[in-house]
């Protein structure tokens, strides 16, 4: 695994596949069914954006588009964007500038922005900077064919209306950049948690849960196609609640998790993301009950100090968070993987409050973490009501202290695996050698081992014999 990336917005010690899931992605395979127009799509940000791109591709395939892996061959270029960090928006703006040069050579090419940045900056992108032809928010993807027709007619087109009902439950996603082993399944959209630092409630709208039967049906179809792992996605999966129109059937997240696990014992089930205020013992006992539900939880803390958590509007305090971690360890055991998000230098954070974050890391001993320093996002509650008053150099120093401590625990947690046999789902070749295979264990950690006769999609028992901060290395147990 690579060392943390030192930039002004984000430092992490994720495994390579987790990093890839939140970085830029693009269509990696050509589809050629005879359609005249070609779509090229790039995704930025979170796993939800990547999942949305698969929905968009499905909608546009039905509207007469094939896909291309080469942007120069595209008739329609879409960037599915993220507004979580300033750097993400800067990256997209830079990419749009590059596309403007290409568009001068191909005037017929349509350039569009989708997702969170589209909703937030629609006026800037369309009218003031004139960087795009098309702006479409996360709840308006069904309208894409009609909007593209508007652009074809010589007009700019925009739809960023948010919905209280849209879940895209009836759309079968086109799997992009798929390894044929793992896939995302979105179970809900939007967010009702008004965390003061976050733009998601404003860009993705209110929370609504997808029909439980459609979730199970999609997971079953993936199994039928040979997939071995699904990740159930939502901004806050623990608050999933669905009921039938007549109210006779009600399904919470623990029950949905069980339904998906029961599809096949060979189907690994993961989920992301959990909110500390909502994760229940029922979910934890469901995880314990089924061997094919991975024993790994992403549980964002954001801060280890109760006052800062209150300013962040996280609706839990340090004691509540620690009790939830104790419950995870009590029910699922010390081997259950736990990861987190941490923000350094939030508004008015003191040195003592920063030390509380460091001590929380000591308490939990996370397997890995997504770590940031605070960057004010326009339109958030914090931007309107709080002063971003921690100096940049202090933020960066505190962040580095969080990084250094977390790296120690990442290494320690990996060392605990040495000498143990772990069941690994093979996802492909190691990046360094086609003589080595790469996969993940139950705790979501990358394991590298000799290829021998094994192939992608196999489950392999691997004896771990060494580790780095982010990767486990071992030998198959024959």
Q: Angle at CA 413, nearest 5°, toward 408 and 415?
A: 95
Beta-sheet strands, E only, within 100-258: 110-115, 134-136, 157-159, 182-186, 188-189, 208-209, 229-233, 241-243, 250-252
Contact 438, 431 (CB under 8 A): yes
* Residue 393 CB contacts under 8 Å (≥ 6 apart), including other chains: none
Neighbouring-strand partners of residue 371 = 11, 342
Joined together, the tokens standing for residue 393 give: 């150099």
The sign one gets for the Cα dihedral 208, 212, 218, 222 is positive
Joined together, the tokens standing for residue 134 give: 């098309």
CA distance 12 to 14: 6
* Residue 105 CB contacts under 8 Å (≥ 6 apart), including other chains: none
Contact 349, 308 (CB under 8 A): yes
Q: Which of 468, 351, 444, 400 has its CA nearest to residue 11?
A: 400
Q: Do the bridges between strand 436-440 and strand 268-272 make them parallel or antiparallel, or are there none, so unpaired?
A: unpaired
The single residue listed with the structure tokens 């495994």 is 15
Q: Angle at CA 406, nearest 5°, toward 403 and 412?
A: 145
46 is in an annotated binding site: yes
Q: What is the DSSP letter of 72?
A: G
336 is in an annotated binding site: no
Contact 77, 148 (CB under 8 A): no
Q: How far is CA 69 from CA 26, 41, 372, in A?
A: 7, 9, 32
CA distance 396 to 391: 9
Q: Find the largest Cα–Cα distance for the chain.
A: 65
Task: Give phi and psi for 146, each to the nearest 5.
Answer: -70, -40
Q: Do the bridges between strand 241-243 and strand 76-81 make them parallel or antiparallel, or are there none, so unpaired?
A: unpaired
Q: Is 320 exposed, middle or buried (0-12, 13-18, 19+ CB in 10 A)?
A: middle
Tell me which H or E stretch contains 415: helix 392-415
Neighbouring-strand partners of residue 251 = 242
Q: Which of 266, 258, 338 has its CA nearest to residue 295?
A: 338
23 is in an annotated binding site: no
Joined together, the tokens standing for residue 373 give: 């320093």
Binding residues for [4Fe-4S] cluster: 46, 82, 116, 191, 195, 198
């Amino acid at each position: 695994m690579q060392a943390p990336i030192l930039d002004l917005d984000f430092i992490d010690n994720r495994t390579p596949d987790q990093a890839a899931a939140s970085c830029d992605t693009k269509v990696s395979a050509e589809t050629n069914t005879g359609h005249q127009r070609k779509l090229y799509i790039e995704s930025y940000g979170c796993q939800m954006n990547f999942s949305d791109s698969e929905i968009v591709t499905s909608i546009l395939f039905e509207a007469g588009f094939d896909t291309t892996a080469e942007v120069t061959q595209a008739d329609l270029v879409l960037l599915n964007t993220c507004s979580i960090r300033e750097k993400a928006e800067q990256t997209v703006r830079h990419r749009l500038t590059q596309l403007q040069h290409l568009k001068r050579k191909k005037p017929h090419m349509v350039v569009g922005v989708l997702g969170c940045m589209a909703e937030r900056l629609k006026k800037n992108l369309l009218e003031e900077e004139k960087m795009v032809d098309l702006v479409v928010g996360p709840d308006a993807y069904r309208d894409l064919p009609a909007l593209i027709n508007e652009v074809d007619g010589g007009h700019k087109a925009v739809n960023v209306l948010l919905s209280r009902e849209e879940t895209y439950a009836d759309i079968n996603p086109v799997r992009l950049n798929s390894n044929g082993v793992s896939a995302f399944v979105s179970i809900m959209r939007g967010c009702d948690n008004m965390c003061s630092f976050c733009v998601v409630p404003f860009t993705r709208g209110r929370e609504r849960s997808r029909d439980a039967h459609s979730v199970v049906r999609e997971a079953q179809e993936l199994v039928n196609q040979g997939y071995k792992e699904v990740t159930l996605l939502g901004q806050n999966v623990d608050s999933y609640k669905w009921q039938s129109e007549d109210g006779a059937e009600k399904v919470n997240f623990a029950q949905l998790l069980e339904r998906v696990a029961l599809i096949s014992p060979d189907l690994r089930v993961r989920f992301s993301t959990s909110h500390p205020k909502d994760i229940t013992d029922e979910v934890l006992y469901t995880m314990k009950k089924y061997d094919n539900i991975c024993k790994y939880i992403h549980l964002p803390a954001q801060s280890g100090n109760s006052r800062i958590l209150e300013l962040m509007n996280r609706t839990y305090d340090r004691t509540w968070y620690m009790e939830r971690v104790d419950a995870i360890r009590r029910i699922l055991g010390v081997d259950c993987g736990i990861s987190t998000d941490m923000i350094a230098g939030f508004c008015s954070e003191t040195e003592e409050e920063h030390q509380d974050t460091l001590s929380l890391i000591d308490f939990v001993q996370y397997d890995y973490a997504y770590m940031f320093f605070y960057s004010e996002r326009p339109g958030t509650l914090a931007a309107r009501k709080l002063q971003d008053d921690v100096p940049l150099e202090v933020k960066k120093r505190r962040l580095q202290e969080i990084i250094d401590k977390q790296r120690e625990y990442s290494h320690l947690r990996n060392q605990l695996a040495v000498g143990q046999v772990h069941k690994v789902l093979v996802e492909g070749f190691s990046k360094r050698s086609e003589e080595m295979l790469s996969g993940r264990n139950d705790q979501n950690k990358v394991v590298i081992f000799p290829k021998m006769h094994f192939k992608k999609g196999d489950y392999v028992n691997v004896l771990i014999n060494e580790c780095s901060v982010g990767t486990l290395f071992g030998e198959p147990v024959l």
